[in-house]
Structure 1
């Protein structure tokens, strides 16, 4: 009887360890974003812009997957030692703000002074946004520009507008961080979700084409990238405006 009881206890302990390891693997998936950010930074330091955006793109995919998986398996309540929200914020700031700021400083034709200034604006306002306790609206949209600098900097890098335009877009988006204007979450906002998802998929296809072709000029792809970017940037604000009538 004692042997059987010990075997049962050992089996339960092993099962508990297996379950904990499986849950911790989800945290490792989230934490892998730090490694992807490091690879993107190293690529940017070498001026390998395509590689930098590839790593950021993979980080974006990981970010889209880890949250739903964590909620599905209730990682927060079942493995409370590690705060998944805090981990996610650290990774998101790195991949959405800090690394794109590095690319903006060196890869978007702003020159040394304005490149560093623009990057500092991004880094500071992005940090403040991640500390904003009112960033989420009841419809799951974001209040203020959600520091999605990985997407914004990609568009600026791909289109290479006049440096003045690049700098002013950076300033306007940074100011938008503090405005009471909504910005869409492509998955969680239910209103016009299918249209928004379609626009997001088209945006990603355009981005993939530009990266694969080494950012060769392609007016059709660039125009579609711009149109989808404007939609994703403004759709929640339009919904917010329409709700007032």
Structure 2
């Protein structure tokens, strides 16, 4: 069995790994200010991977027992707000994807304010590790709107609808923690990340098959949440 000292070192190492999210967030923000969207998405992509695995590492390292002076949940939430919400929202605003003028500012504020109810909601996650309501995944949304290039009106509708869904009793999957369809979910998530990276690199030109793979893998992740919502509704009836 590892000694207590080894466990303490491992726990603090996990905290340090989580903390790198602040580094990636800072670099992403600087890239945004420098009008380097590809570089920004690279840093946010790295932050996404860190966020995806640090929870598992924290549980294995038992950070609450061996490094209790740092609250990993709060640390993770701060980094999530930067990388999942604030920077993607600023990207939408700065790139003109929310139109311009007062309308764009209102949509920007709507994203940031509605997201607060997600991060502060103590009942945001269900017992089987789904999110109840839209989980402020604006990095995914911003990437999709940027790649699709559908126009400001479409983007505004998406922002308003998803902001309202923050309070809706609709399940959204946590790709790395749910038990049902876990293997397929992990594959679909990995495929989506790879396809997203390819589309960012190739932007604004994209191979049709890459778009199909990107849409199909993303649709599966969304469909899983729909299936969970329907099942829960039937159970209540």
Normalising by the residue count of structure 2, what TM-score does the alignment of the two structures yield? 0.90
Equivalent residue pairs, number? 231
Find the counterpart in structure 1 of residue 217 from structure 2: 228
Q: Counterparts of 2:37 and 2:105 in 1: how far apart (Å)?
A: 17
2:153 is aligned, of 161, 164, 173, to: 164
Q: Counterparts of 1:172 and 1:231 in 2: how far apart (Å)?
A: 20
Find the counterpart in structure 1 of residue 51 from structure 2: 63
1:125 is aligned, of 105, 114, 118, to: 114
| Pair member with larger Rg | 1
Give RMSD over aligned pairs: 1.9
Find the counterpart in structure 1 of residue 37 from structure 2: 49
Consecutive unaligned residues in structure 1, runs of 5 or more: 1-14
Q: Counterparts of 1:177 and 1:235 in 2: how far apart (Å)?
A: 18
1:19, CA displacement in angstroms?
5.0
Q: Counterparts of 2:7 and 2:229 in 1: how far apart (Å)?
A: 43
2:19 is aligned, of 31, 38, 50, to: 31
2:125 is aligned, of 136, 143, 146, to: 136
1:18, CA displacement in angstroms?
6.2
Pair 1:237 & 2:226 matched: yes
Find the counterpart in structure 1 of residue 99 from structure 2: 111
1:155, CA displacement in angstroms?
0.8
Distance 1:22 1:195, change over 3 A: closer
Q: Counterparts of 1:104 and 1:138 in 2: how far apart (Å)?
A: 33
Pair 1:203 & 2:192 matched: yes
Find the counterpart in structure 2 of residue 84 from structure 1: 72
2:164 is aligned, of 175, 182, 193, to: 175
2:203 is aligned, of 214, 219, 225, to: 214
Normalising by the residue count of structure 1, what TM-score does the alignment of the two structures yield? 0.87
Q: Counterparts of 2:87 and 2:13 in 1: how far apart (Å)?
A: 25
